[in-house]
C-alpha cells in the first residue's frame, strides 16, 4: 500500500515537516519489528522517485470505524485489543520511540480469520519522537486533544508516560465509546477534572479493569504506571489478583433435584405418619377411672 504525502497545512515549512515525518517512519521501520506495529517498507534510494511511504496491505478496519458499529466490545475482545495495542506501544518505547498520537484512528483491527481473535497494528509513526533526531517545530506539535496528556498542553515534548495516557484514554473509549475527561476541542487548554469512571458507562466490566485504565489515564503523570510494561502486566493478570466474586448459592432443587425430592418425600412421609398418629390418639375411647363412693 502506497501512502502519499498530503500536507495538512499551507505553512512555508510544510514540505520540510512532511519530509521529516517520512524520515521518521523509515528510521523506525529499519530498527523495529513487532507484530503489533504497522511496518513501513524500506525502498532503495534509487527507486524513491517522490515523497511517499510503502506499507503492507492490512485487511481490516480502523478501531475508530469498529467503535462506530454495534454491539460494543465484549470484555474478552476488548482486553485482547488492549493488550495487543499496549504491547505495540511497549515495543516502540523499548526502541526509544515515543508515538505521540495514539488513538483509535491510528489502530488497524485486522479481519478475523479461522475463528481466531483478530490481529492489531499501531500505525502512523510520522510524528513519533526519536532519540538523537531533531523534533518537529512547536507550531506542528503532534497529538489529538482528547488523547493528549495535560503536560503536552503545557509544552512538554512527550515521553513514555504521555503515551501511556493516550493509551489509557484509547482503551477507555474502546469500551465506553466516550472520553474519561470529555471530548476536548482543538486549540484549547483544558483543565482536566475528575474523570468519569469506566464502570459508569459499562457496569458489566470488572472493577480491576476500571482501576487499571483510570491509573493509566491519570491527569498527574506521577499517578500513572511506572511504564507501559507494568500496565500490560495489570491487564494480563488483573483478574487473577482481584478478589474472586462469591457466586450466589443455588437452592438444593437446582443443585441436586434427586436429593431435593428424596428429602421432600421423607419430610412428607414423616408429616403423614405424625398426622395419622395424632388422629389415632385423639379418636381412641377414653377409659373410665374407678368410681369411689363414700359412706353416708
Catalytic residues: 101
Pairing between strand 120-122 and 107-110? Answer: antiparallel
| Rounded Cα–Cα distance for residues 56 and 39 (Å) | 7
Looking at residue 160, the DSSP 8-state letter turns out to be H
Structure-block grid coordinates of residue 63: 478501531
Which residues, in sequence order, are CB contacts of 29 under 8 Å at separation 6+?
39, 40, 41, 42
| Bridge partners for 53 per DSSP | 3
Residue with cell 534510494: 45
Query: What distance lies between CA 97 and its chain's CA centroid?
Result: 23
Q: Assess contact for 147 and 103: CB atoms under 8 A.
A: yes
Q: Assess contact for 14 and 136: CB atoms under 8 A.
A: no
Amino acid at each position: 500500500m502506497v501512502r502519499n504525502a498530503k500536507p495538512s497545512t499551507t505553512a512555508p515549512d510544510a514540505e520540510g515537516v512532511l519530509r521529516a515525518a517520512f524520515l521518521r517512519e523509515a528510521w523506525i521501520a529499519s530498527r523495529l519489528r513487532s507484530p503489533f506495529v504497522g511496518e513501513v517498507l524500506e525502498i532503495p534510494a534509487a527507486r524513491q522517485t517522490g515523497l511517499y511511504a510503502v506499507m503492507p496491505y492490512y485487511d481490516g478496519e480502523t478501531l475508530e470505524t469498529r467503535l462506530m458499529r454495534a454491539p460494543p466490545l465484549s470484555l474478552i475482545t476488548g482486553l485482547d485489543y488492549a493488550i495487543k495495542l499496549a504491547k505495540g506501544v511497549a515495543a516502540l518505547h523499548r526502541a526509544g520511540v515515543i508515538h505521540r498520537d495514539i488513538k483509535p484512528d491510528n489502530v488497524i483491527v485486522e479481519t478475523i480469520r479461522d475463528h481466531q481473535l483478530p490481529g492489531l497494528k499501531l500505525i502512523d509513526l510520522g510524528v513519533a519522537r526519536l532519540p538523537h533526531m531533531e523534533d518537529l517545530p512547536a507550531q506542528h506539535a503532534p497529538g489529538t486533544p482528547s488523547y493528549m496528556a495535560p503536560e503536552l498542553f503545557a509544552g512538554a515534548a512527550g515521553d513514555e508516560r504521555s503515551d501511556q495516557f493516550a493509551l489509557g484514554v484509547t482503551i477507555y473509549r474502546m469500551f465506553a465509546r466516550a472520553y474519561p475527561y470529555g471530548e476536548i476541542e482543538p486549540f484549547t487548554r483544558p483543565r482536566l477534572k475528575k474523570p468519569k469512571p469506566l464502570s459508569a458507562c459499562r457496569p458489566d466490566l470488572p472493577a480491576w479493569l476500571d482501576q487499571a485504565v483510570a491509573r493509566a489515564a491519570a491527569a498527574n503523570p506521577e499517578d500513572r504506571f511506572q511504564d507501559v510494561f507494568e500496565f500490560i502486566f495489570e491487564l494480563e493478570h488483573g483478574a487473577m489478583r482481584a478478589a474472586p466474586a462469591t457466586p450466589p448459592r443455588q437452592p438444593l432443587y437446582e443443585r441436586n433435584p434427586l436429593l431435593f425430592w428424596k428429602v421432600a418425600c421423607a419430610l412428607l412421609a414423616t408429616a403423614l405418619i405424625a398426622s395419622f398418629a395424632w388422629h389415632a390418639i385423639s379418636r381412641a375411647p377414653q377409659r373410665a377411672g374407678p368410681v369411689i363412693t363414700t359412706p353416708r
